[in-house]
Structure 1
Amino acid sequence: MTTTRTAPGQRRRPRHVGVHRTLPALPALILVLLAVAGPWLAPHAIDTPVTAPYAELGGGVPLGSDQLGRDVFTRLLAGGRALITTSLLVAAVVTAVGAALGTVGALRPGIGRVIDRTADVLMLLPPVLGILLVALSWPAGGRLAVITAACVMGVPYAVRLVTAAAAPVVASGYIEAAAVGGERLWYLVVREVLPNLRATLLALFGLRFVAAVYVVSTAGFLQVGPQPPAADWALMIRENSGGILLNSWAVLAPSLAIGLLAMSVNLAAAALVPVSGRKAVTTL
């Protein structure tokens, strides 16, 4: 009978460590599932008044009603799907584009200087101003204009982060050997550098999702993108801010939902980062 021995000084990893790492991801998963399934769980129609405007809690409206007498709980359940899908799309695009440009910039310093200077210019543009510029120049863009603005605002930060993380990998001996051996640029990016940046890219995706939630919510509050009577968390805050003293839950409920979504996804991404890559992520 053979037994597996651990090397001197090497600690055996407990089996329950993987379970403990996935537990922080459960709140984000539950919140996302609720937001996606919310429109089917809503007890009333999102645009139909069911009681008096700004009615108090109770009587079939557990969170009261909004400025038109619509059920706040119904609109809360239905208002998260668009925000989550849009933010996920923005985070995925920004992470992918940032990973590609950042790695190319680290491998080719000449191209990297051009990318860095362009990123510096875009980083000087405030997100709100960027949203308004894209939306006003693209009046019929709607949500697509918001996605475009969020991606343009997020890519420069992603490029900077990936470039800093890729620099030590590019300087390693095996990357130099592969480049001297005649490997193409795309091969170095996809097969040699990016697989060593999994922890950084996962953390970057979490950060970009939180930033996308902020940008998309700001656009919704400014009524750039979703328009009344659509059920949208940011739009709910804007529509009911004037009656916050009459029914505070019409504003507090969507505000808490946005905050919990951003915080839970960020914690989930941090918990899922591989242990071997956390030191590299925290030093960026």
Structure 2
Amino acid sequence: MTAVLPVAARWESRRARSIALAVVAVLPLLVALAGPSIAPHTLDTPVTAPYAAPGDGAVLGGDQLGRDVLSRVLHGGTLLIAGALLVAVVITLTATLVGITAVLRPVLGRAVERSADVAILLPPLLGIMLIALAWPGGGRWAVIAAAIVLGTPYAVRVIASAASPLTTAGYVEAALTRGESTTYIALREILPNLRGTLLTLFGLRFVEAFYVIAMAGFLQIGSQPPASDWSLMVRENASGILLNPWAAIAPSLAIALLAITANLATLALAPDTTAKAVTRS
């Protein structure tokens, strides 16, 4: 007698829970992206006294200039999320191309490995400052470029490590015997078996880019006043935290919530490689 059906039922139940978790996790991302259209007030219009407590005119009170904190929080996530998505997409695509090519071409692989080892040693904050100083007019784009440069070496190592065992698989060796090109082997034989790794890597790079861009905004590298960037809002309103704590706490919570939900969505959508149909006699 076999236990295939119970295992399949558990797998379907796990899949349903994963989909439900992914939907719940993505909702804050959608709210943040739609924030400007649902904000009760415009971005820069004062509606109350500076650091006013929450009231009828401002649900979360006012910031240092009397602007509605809730409206600025709803406006502040769009560019931050867009920047993090751009960084995650570029890093994942670049790392996939370079990492798979490196394991198929050992000479290139050794060069990539040595270069990545050196680049990983560069502290993120130092890298951001160096690129910002080298590109003083770059603003947000300089920060995005820094996040891509700093995140790619580690991502290449991850993809190369995941792809390396696949190069000795029978189907890859058969393709090599047939004389298939490197592009064919990379796209048709190796890449489909890296879906889980790529999705997880994309989620991690998104969260890291989110933090890097937010950290740069807090240091006023990239976003500049009067932008409603969440990290910039924390810096601007830190001095009035005793008068209206929500002016600094609300954008801080928004950053944390988006990072957590992005991780949850990644975990929920990643394929479960442990679910196997186990037969018993």
Q: Quick one: distance in 1 between partners of 2:192 and 2:82?
A: 26
Counterparts of 1:245 and 1:207, CA distance in 2: 35
Are residue 84 (structure 1) and residue 78 (structure 2) matched? no
Report the counterpart of residue 165 of structure 2 in structure 1: 168
Q: Secondary structure at the match of 2:273?
A: helix
- Structure 1 residue 45: Cα displacement: 1.4
Could you tell me which residue of structure 2 aligns to residue 3 of structure 1? none
After TM superposition, list the pairs within 5 Å mapping 1:261-272 onto structure 2: 261-272=258-269
Aligned to 1:11: 5
1:54 aligns with 51
SS in 2 for 1:162: helix
**What is the alpha-carbon distance in structure 2 between the residues aligned to residue 180 and residue 257 of structure 1?**
53
CA drift at 1:67: 0.7
2: CA distance, partners of 1:165 / 1:89: 23
Cα distance in 1 for partners of 2:263, 2:143 equals 22
Q: Which amino acid aligns with 1:38?
A: G
Residues 1:255 and 2:249 are matched in the alignment: no
Alpha carbons 2:223, 2:229 under 8 Å: kept: yes
Matched, 1:100 2:94: no
Deviations along 1:144-201, whole A, 9 cap, x unmatched?
Answer: 1111111111111111111111111111121122123211111111111111000111
Tell me the TM-score normalised to structure 1 length.
0.92
Name the structure 1 match of 2:148: 151
State the SS of the aligned residue for 2:227: coil
What SS is found at the alignment partner of 2:228? coil
Contact 1:220 1:235 in 2 (8 A): yes
Residue deviations 1:187-236 (CA, integer Å, cap 9, x gap):
11111111100011111111111101110101111112221111110110
Q: Tell me how far apart the structure 2 counterparts of residues 126 and 190 of structure 1 sit (CA, whole Å).
A: 33
Residue equivalent to 1:126:
123
Structure 1 vs Structure 2: percent identity of aligned residues? 55
SS of aligned partner of 2:64: coil
Contact 1:38 1:81 in 2 (8 A): yes
Contact 1:199 1:277 in 2 (8 A): no
Structure 2 equivalent of residue 199 of structure 1: 196
Is residue 2:227 matched to residue 1:227?
Answer: no
Name the counterpart of 1:43. 40
**What whole-Å deviation, never above 9, does each CA across 1:19-76 have from its counterpart, x for those lacking one?**
2111221233211111111111111111111111100011311111111111100000
TM-score normalized by structure 2?
A: 0.93
Matched to 1:100, the amino acid is: L
**Change in CA separation of 1:120 and 1:9 when aligned onto 2, cut-off 3 Å:** same
Shift of residue 16, structure 1, vs aligned partner: 4.0
Contact in 2 for aligned 1:240/1:251 (Cα 8 Å): yes
The amino acid across from 2:187 in the alignment is: V
Paired residues, number: 273
Distance 1:79 1:277 in 2: 39
Task: Kindly indicate whether the alpha-carbon contact (under 8 Å) linking 1:63 and 1:250 is maintained by their aligned counterparts in 2.
Answer: yes
Shift of 1:256: 0.7
Opposite residue 11 of structure 1, the aligned amino acid is: L
Across the aligned residues of Structure 1 and Structure 2, the Cα RMSD in angstroms comes to 1.6
| Distance in structure 1 (CA, Å) of the matches to 2:22 and 2:54 | 32
Question: What one-letter code is carried by the residue in structure 2 that aligns with 1:8?
Answer: T
Structure 2 alignment gaps of length 5 or more: 277-281
CA distance in 1, matches of 2:182, 2:114: 21
Q: State the alpha-carbon separation in 2 of the partners of residues 161 and 11 from structure 1.
A: 35
Matching of residue 244 in structure 1 with residue 241 in structure 2: yes
2:125, 2:24 → 1: CA distance? Answer: 29
CA offset at residue 9 of structure 1? Answer: 4.1
In the alignment, is the contact (CA less than 8 A) between 1:57 and 1:63 conserved in 2?
A: yes
